[in-house]
Structure 1
Amino acid sequence: MSQKYSKKLFYKYYLEWIHLYKDNAVRPVTLNKYYLVQRKLKELAPDLHMNELNRRNYQGILNKYAQDHEKTTTLDFHHHLKASLFDAVDDGLLKTDPTRRAIIKGCDPSDKKLKFLNLYELQTLLRSLNLGQDLNWDWFFLLIAKTGLRFAEALALTPEDFDFEKQSLNINKSWNYKEKIGNFQPTKNPSSNRLVMVDWQLMQQFQNLINQKKAKKPIFFEEDQRVYNSTLNQKLGKYCKELDIPQISIHGLRHTHASLLLYEGVSIASVAKRLGHSNTTTTQETYIHIIKELENKDNDKILHHLSQLR
């Protein structure tokens, strides 16, 4: 008896696969990516059935997607689909794996030069902040500038995360601010769970600011309050514009923190650990322009030193 392979539409199979394997199993932000891929798949291949799926027309889907997406984004799209098709082969819904030896293409990457402030510009910004007796979003900006925390990590801070004796912050969760009703969620990856050392002055300031806050509650807002990344970015951007310095986002404060540490000679490994990167490769790729600039300065020092030898 011959095998009967699935005749279901590809995008419908993929939707069912998401429901079966991903709903309530991954973080909401990750789940949203799967649904975004599913909608794009429906747009690119609305009439393609599973029994018609082969390497040729799968490559055609990737090629269409790559026409207006960069290579890294196309690769991500491919990986999302590939997982479901592996299962389809295992379940006998497909005869062979259509993703085998797929070629990843993409349009030319845009110029994504990091936006960060130099030391003088950062000092100008921090001196202009309204840092009063009560916690406000200006304190939030100062905290990120001095720690390099991710936006969601800083939102999730509670009083019990502050270790005033050891001058450190315990980063072990983030805040799911993208949902209408926010909640605590795991950090971006296991390596994001870390201790971040903080200068004594900032710790002393926060000790006074949070001493009346509940131990397990966010310090910057009420749990039923919706926090928008875009709103705070606009606020920060307005400050920068008024001070006539480059307009950066909150994520730009994180980049500023990391770049200044690198310029001060802090090792890539230490910066990666402080930022919660899963490996130093991520740090090197993110700050490649700064690292190259520092290498050029090191080369100048090396040549100067050699020239002094007799």
Structure 2
Amino acid sequence: MSYTKRKGKKGLTYGYRIADNKGNVITSKSGFLTKKLAKEVGESRKNKLEKVNTIREDFTLYELWKRWYELSIKPSSITDTTKKKYRYRGHTIKKIFGNQKANTLKYSKYQKLMNDYSVNVTYNYISRINSDIRNAIQLALRDKIQIDDFTIGYKINAGKKSKKESEKHIESISDYERILTYLENILDYDISIIPYLLYTLLKTGLRLREAVALKWEDINLDKGYIYTYRGYSLEVRDYTEPKTPWSVRYVPLDSKLINVLNSLKTRQETLNMAYISENIVFFDQRHGILSNHSINKHLKTYLTQLDINPKITATGTRHTYISVLLAKKYDIKTVAKIVGHKNTIQIRETYGHLLKEEYDSEWDAIKGTLAEF
């Protein structure tokens, strides 16, 4: 910490500057009448900053996680929605471990506490909890804190099973066509906006938060495309940054979807909805922007009426869209760009399943080929 001295209208005044290890000024203040006062205030401020930025030996596991979050996650460029998920997991860590000191926690107790909590959660969720804790421990170790990495060897025993890939998308093109036809037949803005939203999701592969964020100026019905550049969090009820830089993109619209959106726009204009909707496309007359629960509840009802399994969520419409394009033999690089992925890796790993018709076709082709030998 350094001190400054300045002569002005009030006479001689003093100040302090606090810098990091690289010499960058973190904070400063001037205008003190004596150097002693500037030093006292500066030292107090420095102690507070050191307390905030230092990892202590006696931290609880939750406090250690919180410090990791503040240093590694909070300043990062990931979306506010993703940061909220980290904070939610932080609350879970506090719930599981309470005031347990991180440096006295042993593997066996860690395994037991995690087992007890895991009974009613999925494998994926408890795996993320464990990963966050491991990252927090690594931060402490880099600061030379004496602590055991009790996550090493931890075995995940989740009570709930995560959905299989086959349960995340509609399994056949015929079922995909049936749900689209069903939605076309119940489109009525005076009743609900949900069929319009679901139809658009199935026809574009947009993330739900991307579709909900759309305004009419983002859609070019003449040239047939959507421009998506942000999201809308149904949890915090506000616009969010795009999930990744590659999420900002143009998405093609087919002629049927253009007609559907045109009719929706016309009806909203007739009702003068822009006055209250701020030109939001999927704005319900009675309820405004709907909840994630309401959207998924309606989708489950529609699928049940059609006897279509599995009962996917709104997220599953995106999985279905990608699966259909791949089944129709579209280039995987083109598909990746349309849905906003950086490359084809996630497409191959997440959506590399086959739709039923494609599997049956390949099955018969293999038998035919082998019969030639």
Q: How does 1:43-62 map to 2 (within 5 A)?
A: 43-53=95-105
Where does structure 2 lack aligned partners over 5 or more consecutive residues?
1-54
Cα gap change, 1:121 to 1:110, in 2 (>3 Å)? same
Q: Give the one of 89, 106, 109 matched to 1:37.
A: 89
CA drift at 1:125: 1.3
- Counterpart-to-counterpart distance in 2, 1:285 and 1:32: 26
Residue 154 of structure 1 corresponds to which residue in structure 2? Answer: 211
Aligned to 1:14: 65
- Greater CA drift, 285-294 or 260-269: 285-294
Residue of structure 1 equivalent to 2:300: 237
Q: State how far apart, in whole Å, the 1-side matches of 2:103 and 2:372 are.
A: 73
CA-to-aligned-CA distance 1:175-220 (integer Å, 9 cap, x gap): 11111xx222122223322221111342355356447559984222
- In structure 2, the residue matched to 1:276 is 340
- Residue 73 of structure 1 is matched in structure 2 by 125
Residue aligned with 2:364, SS: helix
Structure with the larger RCO, 1 or 2 (CA within 8 Å, 6+ apart): 1
> TM-score w.r.t. structure 2 length?
0.65
Q: Give the residue type in structure 1 aligned to 2:97.
A: A
Give the structure-1-normalised TM-score: 0.76
User: Which of these residues, 262, 270, 290, is aligned with residue 227 of structure 1?
Assistant: 290
Q: Look up the equivalent residue of 2:208 and give its one-letter code.
A: F
Deviation at 1:102, TM superposition (A): 4.7
Matched AA of 1:138: P
| 2:168 is the alignment partner of 1:114 | yes
The CA deviation at 1:154 is: 0.5
Contact persistence 1:191–1:277 (CA under 8 A): yes
1:290 is paired with a residue whose SS is coil
- 1:220 alignment partner, SS class: coil
Give SS of 2:251's match.
Answer: strand
2:39 corresponding residue in structure 1: none
C-alpha deviation, 1:295, in angstroms = 5.5
Deviation at 1:155, TM superposition (A): 0.4
Q: Give the aligned partner of residue 259 of structure 1.
A: 323
Cα distance change on mapping 1:237 and 1:37 into 2, 3 Å = closer
CA contact (8 A) 1:71 1:104 kept: no
Would you say the 8 A contact 1:58–1:98 is kept in 2?
A: no
Corresponding position: 1:218 with 2:280: yes
Q: Report the residue type matching 2:334 in the other structure.
A: S
User: Is 2:169–2:316's contact at 8 Å kept on the other side of the alignment?
Assistant: yes
Secondary structure in structure 2 of the residue aligned to 1:265: coil
Please state which structure has a larger fraction of its residues in strand.
2
1:263 maps to amino acid: A
Residues paired across the two proteins, number: 302
Q: For residues 214 and 321 of structure 2, what CA distance do their matches in structure 1 show?
A: 18
Residue 143 of structure 1: how far off its partner (Å): 1.2
Q: Which amino acid aligns with 2:354?
A: I
Stretch moving more, 193-202 or 233-242: 233-242
For 2:242, the equivalent position in structure 1 comes to: 187
Please say if 1:290 is aligned against 2:346. Answer: no
Determine the C-alpha separation between the residues in 1 that align with 2:316 and 2:195. Answer: 15
Contact 2:96 2:113 in 1 (8 A): yes
Give the direction of change, closer, same or farther, for the CA distance of 1:88–1:225 in structure 2 (3 Å limit): farther
**Is 2:190 aligned against 1:129?**
no
**What are structure 1's unaligned runs of at least 5 residues?**
none
Letter in 1 for 2:327: Y
Residue aligned with 2:226, SS: strand
